[in-house]
Structure 1
Amino acid sequence: MRNVTHGSEVAYLLINVDDIILTTSSKDLLQRIIPSLHKEFDMTDPWGLLISFGIAVTLDSTSMFFSQNKYALELLDSAHIASCNLTRTSVDTKPNLGLDGVHVSDPTLYRSLKGDLQYLIFTHPHISYAVQHACLHMHDPREPRFAVVKRFLCYVVVTRDFGLQLYASSTVTCSIF
């Protein structure tokens, strides 16, 4: 995500391969930026974008809500987690992630799930530290670490409706819901 400021005006531009999401602090700024983007990029209906990068965007008159609920459900499905012991915290308060434990039977699944969790951080920043810490050991996947990943996934079940709410404001404010 790129934040561009010009005086008191702010524009946020999120670019990924062939998708662009643009939001601005005023409609006037938006109207000035769109023609410039049309000159550089082949664009379709800029107002019809409500889902991109697996992120759903809900707009109303005062805010934008970014959610990855569908992505989270797909993540849980790919992990074959239909049910688990729900948890209200993303980490164990007494972690034991030493070098002990048996190597995981499917290191590709382990690494894939960790990568998926890293992408989920976009709308779930509250788990970023725990996910990044667990990802330090992707080179040596062991069962105790996989248990931590499964705990994250059980936490995702509880928090999959969370997202980022951005309000129209003269200051940049970010809230987790």
Structure 2
Amino acid sequence: MVKPTTIKLLPSLVISSGWVIKQLDVHNAFLNGSLSETVYMKQPLGYIDKQFPNHVCSGFIYVIVYVDDILVMGNDQGFISSLLTALSSAFKIRDLGELGFFLGIETIKCKDEIFLSQQRYMTDILKRAGMTYCKPLATHMSAYKPTISNANLYDDATRYRSLAGALQYLTVSRLDLSFALNQLCQHMHAPTVSH
């Protein structure tokens, strides 16, 4: 599973290095779960390059896979094109072009920079929670022992867990939510109305 720090680090590395980044979507990813081919992590016997005996390839390619969403990044456009051709022959993939919206993160490229935004993802969470038209309010929270004003159990614990899980991905760009979310996740087993 892709870690949030990887999602932030690799695209910034790609942009600063002037590398290529492509986004793909694999159709029917769950139907292609077995890997029966040999994968070489070192040069196979009979094909060892005497000039570079410890190298596996000459270019750098990073592949981030999350279920059926894929990012391919690297320093060699030809090598990436060859990889995409090989993937297309084995799987039904759709080339989505440059990085746009990946795992709830929208990327906006500005010259030599990349801006990560989760506004659309945050709006979707608010819709799911029925809070689209709520006004923002700073709510202070104790850093020690939370005070429970209403100990009645929340009637839809599955919804609570689903929203708390969705909020975890929001901390990729909103680290300020991490503490409060951690507090909420400590009550997944029996959330109350106050939580």
TM-score normalised by structure 1 residue count? 0.60
Identity of aligned residues (%): 28
Aligned residues: 138
**Corresponding residue of 2:157:** 107
**Corresponding residue of 1:124:** 174
**Corresponding residue of 1:133:** 183
1:5-154 to 2 correspondences below 5 Å: 13-24=63-74, 28-29=75-76, 31-40=78-87, 42-45=92-95, 47-81=97-131, 82-87=133-138, 92-93=141-142, 96-97=145-146, 101-144=151-194, 146=195
Q: Which runs of 4+ in 1 moved over 6 A?
A: none
Structure of greater Rg: 2
State the shift of 1:13 in Å.
Answer: 3.9
State the shift of 1:138 in Å.
Answer: 0.1
Alpha-carbon distance between aligned partners in 1 of 2:152 and 2:78, rounded to the nearest angstrom: 58
- Structure 2 segments unaligned to the other structure (5+ residues): 14-54
Aligned-partner SS, 1:64: strand
Q: 1:30 to 1:44 in 2, by over 3 A?
A: same
Alpha-carbon distance between aligned partners in 2 of 1:70 and 1:50, rounded to the nearest angstrom: 12
Aligned-partner SS, 1:143: coil
Structure with the higher helix share, 1 or 2: 1
Aligned-partner SS, 2:115: strand
Residues 31-55 of structure 1: CA deviation (Å, up to 9, x unaligned): 5345335424554335244123332
